[in-house]
Chains A and B, each alone.
Chain A
Amino acid sequence: MPLSGNRQFNDTDSRLSKSIRAIGPLFAWWPEYRKSKVGVIGLIMVGIFIFAIILAPYIATHDPTFKDRDFMWKAPSFSHFFGTTAQGKDVFSQLLHSGQISLMIGVAAAGAVTAMGTIIGLIAGYFGGIVDEILTRIADILLVLPRLPLMLVLAAYLGPGMSTIVFVVVILGWTRIARQVRAQVMSCKQHTYVERAKSIGAGNFHIIWNHILPNVAGVVIANFVLECVTVIMLEAGLSFLGFGDPLHQSWGMMLFNAQNEGAFLFGAWWQWLPPGACIAVLGIAFSFIGNTLNDRFVLRLKNIKGGA
């Protein structure tokens, strides 16, 4: 699908405006993307979430940290949409504020994982040889080892906190993306225009930046979105186990609190059901988007028929 672009570059334009306009053709993917109903639904869902979360300070009905002694463990009502926790904190407000943390950490950690995976995949795929063999070997080993227990071992030593969670997720999570990127790079390397660039005298950096990366970008972006799903769940799981940062409540931490405060035994389903549901829904939304991106843009390039 040729990306058409009829924009004119005046050479007097600043570099910034040129960079922005260079992204223009990227939006050429919209007509294609729109064809997938599932993908659009996912986008809408994410949009709603982000919207609500950003407006948290304004939409929240109460201060999420305020312990209201009179309202402990009250079922959902008009004043407290999702009821209150054992300590009297409003669940709805907590949801909104914690959402900020969950989303931020999720996207940031996913970004870190994607970056690391892309770099490693790029190096392994482009330079090949023994570097490639070693990296692939490591990735294979990490693939077989049980990931969560290993993460827990590491996390136990590092103690709770956001940095622990991010570190642990990144150091074991890069393998999937690295594999995909490596495969894409290796197929890209075969193209004649790469040979041509070499015959012109282009250095490795120039070739990677100008010829390989544009072709790899699609894979990276699709995988980044899919990675968000995994990371959000992992963060929730790790927080649930107690590795979260009490000062920065995420949805996972809400679940952790729910378990600790005995909400389950007490039957206060409103304390643990909503946060989990949010995690699920956001995860589903991202996975719809990621799946559509994967189907339409990555697999299509390889002529595999997509589905949803």
Chain B
Amino acid sequence: MENEQYFEVDHLTKFFPVKKRGQFFGKPIYVHAVDDVQFTVRKGKTYGVVGESGCGKTTLARMIMHLEKPTSGRMLFKGQDITLFNGKQMKALRRQMQMVFQDPFGSLNPVRTIRNIVAEPVRVHHIFQNRQDEKIKVQEMLETVGLSSSDEMLEKRPGQLSGGERQRVGIASALILGAEFIVADEPVSMLDASIRADIIALMMKLKEEKNLTYFFITHEFGMARAICDRIAVMYAGKMVEVADAASIVDHPLHPYTQLLIDAIPPLIPDPNWGKNISEGEVPYFTVPPPGCRYHPRCSRADELCKSEIPELVDYRDGHFAACHHV
């Protein structure tokens, strides 16, 4: 079945303990990085997570890739519970799940050649018996992402490439194992604006060609709208609105979503833009306030919001929102 649950997350939580300097006694304080998150990704679709810095989306990505262990909750891949997979099981799984990183500068080892970097996944998994086959595959991947596959290119080092080229290398390396589920953590945020379109276009093309499923994290709503099928908006560790892309932009239900949409600069200068956007920064909750996390910044907030946490409720055909005053 094409649309069956491909990747599912259930009540996923991650709390980070925070120690004050020199504090030996007393209860540790926890940062609620990801708090009871739930979603389903369907095969072949792009699932977007939008949120500002500190909302927990990177932690979420890292948990999916098993770079962090969840405090509680479950993750299911193709119906299988992978939450407690050990190293060995994960290794097999990683051939199907790969990550594209945000930082094209830091994510590639500056002393290694492009060939070694792209080939690293297949070496770790001992795919090829000899270097010749490996080299052919590496060249194939480089061409797939739009880079030259010449010997000269293979011997270059990351320092000799531009940001966009490095990110392409990152993508090549993520795809070389044939993974079909790609977690992309803000893959273009650190690239120049003109390059972003190229990389996104490449990612979309690859998606079509190889029937990939993307878990796409970004802080830009506009980008999410352009390429995602389904969008989840995250605030302070919780998902506040989840819906199909078109639906969420046409009828945003949660005030935060509205805020993010309003914050997208219009192409035609509008003197009224920017006036109603509320103030404040995304908080870094250790002790979360009672009730709705957003209420300190919310124009609709009232007594109910301050005391009760709103649940994600389906308001219309799979359009979920967590707010008392939709």
Contact = CB atoms under 8 A, between A and B. Distances in A.
B131 A193 contact: no
B139 to A, nearest CB: 13
Given A2-B160, A3-B157, A211-B109, A200 B101 contact: no
B124 A8 contact: no
A199 B91 CA distance: 9
A201 interface: yes
Interface string B80-91: 000000010011
B160 A200 contact: no
B106 interface: yes
Interface in A223-252: none
Given A196-B101, A214-B111, A201 B157 contact: no
Contact of B91 (A2, A201, A211): A201
Given A4-B157, A200-B173, A203-B87, 16 more contacts: A2-B110, A2-B157, A2-B159, A6-B155, A7-B155, A191-B106, A192-B103, A193-B106, A196-B107, A198-B67, A200-B121, A200-B124, A201-B94, A203-B124, A210-B112, A210-B120
Interface string A170-192: 00000000000000000000011
Nearest to B90: A201
B19 to A, nearest CB: 15
Interface residues on B, range: 35 or more
B253 interface: no
A206 interface: yes
A195 interface: yes
Interface of B: 65, 67, 87, 90-91, 94-95, 98-99, 101, 103, 106-113, 120-121, 124-125, 130-132, 135, 151-152, 155, 157, 159-160, 170, 173
B65 A202 contact: no
A2 B108 CA distance: 13
B124 A206 contact: yes
Nearest to A214: B111
B120 to A, nearest CB: 6
B94 A193 contact: no
A105 B221 CA distance: 66
10 contacts: A2-B157, A195-B101, A195-B107, A197-B124, A200-B94, A201-B94, A201-B124, A202-B120, A210-B109, A211-B109
B90 to A, nearest CB: 7
Interface residues on A, range: 20 to 34
A3 B156 CA distance: 10
A70 B120 CA distance: 72
A128 interface: no
Nearest to A18: B131
Contacts of A4: 157
Contacts of A206: 124
A94 B120 CA distance: 55
Contact of B99 (A8, A11, A196): A196
Nearest to A196: B107
A214 B112 CA distance: 10
Interface string A203-231: 10010001100110000000000000000
Nearest to A13: B131
Contact of A192 (B101, B112, B113): B101
A5 interface: yes
Nearest to A211: B109
Given A6-B155, A192-B101, A199 B67 contact: yes
Nearest to B113: A5
B107 A192 contact: yes
A3 B151 contact: no
A203 B132 CA distance: 24
A19 to B, nearest CB: 14
A11 B135 CA distance: 9
B86 to A, nearest CB: 12
B120 A197 contact: yes
Contacts of A8: 151, 155
A195 B125 contact: no
